[in-house]
Amino acid sequence: MEALTTGDYLIVSLANKLPVGRALREDRSLNPKKIITLPRDEESPRWVIEKDWQEGAYKISIRGGTAIELNGLLFAGLIPDLPNNTWKIESQPQHGKSTYTISLAGGNGYGKGWVVPDNVDEEGTQLAVRPLIVQPSYPPRYPPFELFEITRLGDDDY
């Protein structure tokens, strides 16, 4: 299993090959910001993934906002220490290199993870946090809309 280390990454939906992130235009409030699918021709945003060694979970952030689940949707929370802000990132090599599921860590959201909703080909679609569908097989199989390609950025990528 390929565990991620703390660093900068790109996250792309496997379902539609669209990068995910925050919109370039947002209001200036401290309200949580939507995490959406972005246009292919837009530069993929840089995500910061931080490994929490004590809990075996990750904090995932983008442009200063930490990924959080709020009412079944995925947001970037701008206020520190909001609930539902730690994630399990699990390698799914049976689906391809650098392919992962991202699910809530801890007891509150067991089995709930990042999902690109039904209209997977549309840009600007907000990601949901829903129970993950897993095909009972070994190794387990996930539908593409629950899988993400996570690629580490090197020093040359800045």
- The string of pLDDT tens digits covering residues 8-42 is 999 999 999 999 999 989 999 999 999 999 998 88
- The string of pLDDT tens digits covering residues 42-69 is 888 999 999 987 777 999 999 999 999 9
| Nearest Cα residue to 110 out of 131, 79, 96, 124 | 131
Q: Which tokens sit at 58? A: 């990750």
Do residues 85 and 67 lie in contact, with contact meaning Cβ atoms separated by under 8 Å?
yes
pLDDT at site 23: 92
Query: Mean pLDDT over residues 142-147, rounded?
Result: 96
| Nearest Cα residue to 76 out of 125, 124, 127 | 127
What percent of the chain clears pLDDT 70, i.e. is strictly above it? Answer: 91
Do residues 10 and 150 lie in contact, with contact meaning Cβ atoms separated by under 8 Å?
yes
Residue 154 has pLDDT above 90, yes or no: no
Fold of the CATH domain 8-22+30-157:
Trefoil (Acidic Fibroblast Growth Factor, subunit A) (2.80.10)
Distinct helix (H) and strand (E) counts, the chain: 0, 12
